Amino acid sequence: MEFRIDRTALAEAVGRAVRALPARTPVPVLGGLLLEADAGRLAVTGFDFEASVRVEADAEVTAPGRVLVLGRRLQDVCRVLPDGPLHCALEASRFTVEADGTRFGLSTLPLAEYPALPAPPPPYGTVGADAFATAVAQVAVAAGRDDTLPLLTGVQLRLDGGDMTLAASDRYRYAVRRLGWKPEAAACEDVVEALLPARRLLDLTRSLGRREDVRIGWDPAGSGLIGLEGGRTRAALRLLDGRLPTYKSLFDMAGAAVAEVECEELAEAVRRVAVVAEANSPVRLDFSADGSVRLRAGYGDDVAAQRLPATLTGADEVPVAFNPAYLLDALASFDSPRVRLELLGAGQRALLHAVPGGAGDGAAGEHRHLLMSVKQLV
């Protein structure tokens, strides 16, 4: 095996494929990246049974071949190499990378122990890469991080005709985003629901880039995988078992008071007053019909407060309190200048969404984020 490749191209391919590697694994070969050189291209693949990423790059191949090297070690090497062409070769059991007088020799892993890669699911439709990556980021923030409750660590994907819906919840918040996509003709008749690992899905959408459409692969026969392909990157993700609880009744906010406030101003005020809040202590927001909201945090002598302009309709005043980290996550997920909050009061639900007229509005781009207000106010 021998090839020449530009350092930037190799670093980009390795950086994308390494996202599929586990942080720690008892199986050493799963920490490796599979490099395959053949016919003017280099393919770099990472795989750990839950996810796989394959990235192709142009290369001048002198001798085709395959090699398995430690992925993060190769990534570190790519970062420190000088820009320009690289000469890479397999010499006995060592993979060498050389550029402008700098030479690295890397040990290789046994190819015979590397597991067989899953076959990618057949094409099912396409979605805009930028819109898809934005939507995943908006909902993944609400997914749980407790691996003992795997159901709540996922993003629920629903494909129904030309509508795609992404949803995630950790029991204390529930984020939902709808966007349009283009199904294959045969896919229009079927409704697809799949639960995907949120952190892996977020990593993969970052690997795919945002310049082209993402092709979604799905096997109606039930292979247990969903495929994502964009540009020269192809990924597959294994599904989680189960589905999230439905959210329609939760999002029914009949009788709620409605407040509107500048999104970034509110986020900055939350960050400011939360400085004096103890761990897991809430930030209180008192909305009033006089055109303001007063934020307060802390106890005893260590307190902070700030007042912002805000509108409130449907009530004279509404006090609520939120976990500041959850509230900041929710606010950061909107790209609209103003946010609307439907409020039922302390200890009850609050539904956030963009004020019409902001970026991403409309039925095809609807994003909503539900938060639970804490019962005990500051």
What is the pLDDT, as a whole number, of residue 207?
79
Same domain, 191 and 267: no
Same domain, 128 and 179: yes
What is the pLDDT, as a whole number, of residue 371?
97
What is the pLDDT, as a whole number, of residue 222?
79
Q: Under the phi-then-psi rule, with left for phi > 0, alpha for psi from -120 to 50, and beta for the rest, what region is 92? A: left
Share of the chain residues as helix, strand and coil, in percent rounded to the nearest 5 = 25, 45, 30
Kindly give the pairing relationship between strand 233-238 and strand 257-262.
unpaired
Taking the mean position of all CA atoms in its chain, how far away is CA 131?
Answer: 12
Report percent pLDDT > 70 for the chain: 95
**CATH number for the domain that contains residue 86:** 3.10.150.10
Domain count, the chain: 3
Integer Cα distance of 103 and 77 in angstroms: 10
Same domain, 275 and 219: no
Residue range(s) defining the domain that contains residue 104: 2-113
pLDDT tens per residue across span 47-87: 999 999 999 999 999 999 999 999 999 999 999 999 999 99
pLDDT tens per residue across span 304-337: 999 999 999 999 999 999 999 999 999 999 999 9
Same domain, 199 and 141: yes
Q: Binning pLDDT at 50, 70 and 90, where does residue 377 land?
A: low
Residue 72 belongs to a domain: yes
Same domain, 284 and 222: no
Residue 118 belongs to a domain: no
Query: Of 210, 238, 266, which residue sits at a domain end?
Result: 238
Residue 315 belongs to a domain: yes
Structure-block tokens of residue 17: 């494929």
Distances (CA, A) of 115 to 118, 215, 222: 9, 25, 21
Asked if residue 195 has pLDDT above 80, the reply is: yes
Same domain, 192 and 147: yes
Same domain, 217 and 168: yes
The 8-class DSSP code of residue 284 comes to E
Residue 57 belongs to a domain: yes
Over residues 111-125, the mean pLDDT reads 92
Query: Of 206, 238, 270, which residue sits at a domain end?
Result: 238
What is the pLDDT, as a whole number, of residue 347?
93
Q: Binning pLDDT at 50, 70 and 90, where does residue 361 land?
A: very low
Same domain, 128 and 228: yes
Residue 332 belongs to a domain: yes
366: nearest Cα among 129, 165, 162: 165
Amino acid letter at 302? D
What is the pLDDT, as a whole number, of residue 12?
95
What is the pLDDT, as a whole number, of residue 356?
79
Residue 251 belongs to a domain: no
Q: Binning pLDDT at 50, 70 and 90, where does residue 301 land?
A: confident
Same domain, 166 and 215: yes
Arithmetic mean of pLDDT over the chain = 92
Integer Cα distance of 365 and 164 in angstroms: 10
Query: Would the CA dihedral through 260, 318, 297, 321 be positive or negative?
Result: negative
pLDDT tens per residue across span 126-175: 999 999 999 999 999 999 999 889 999 999 999 998 999 999 999 999 99
Asked if residue 188 has pLDDT above 70, the reply is: no
Q: Contact 211/176 with Cβ under 8 angstroms?
A: no
Residue 252 belongs to a domain: no
Phi, psi of 97 (to 5 degrees): -130, 125
Residue 243 belongs to a domain: no
pLDDT tens per residue across span 252-298: 999 999 999 999 999 999 999 999 988 889 999 999 999 999 999 99
Same domain, 216 and 312: no
Q: Report how far apart the first and last C-alpha atoms of the chain are (Å, whole number).
A: 66
Counts for the chain of helices (H) and strands (E), in that order: 6, 27
Asked if residue 114 has pLDDT above 80, the reply is: yes
Same domain, 193 and 263: no
Same domain, 99 and 183: no
Asked if residue 185 has pLDDT above 80, the reply is: no
Over residues 237-249, the mean pLDDT reads 93
Query: Of 94, 113, 132, which residue sits at a domain end?
Result: 113
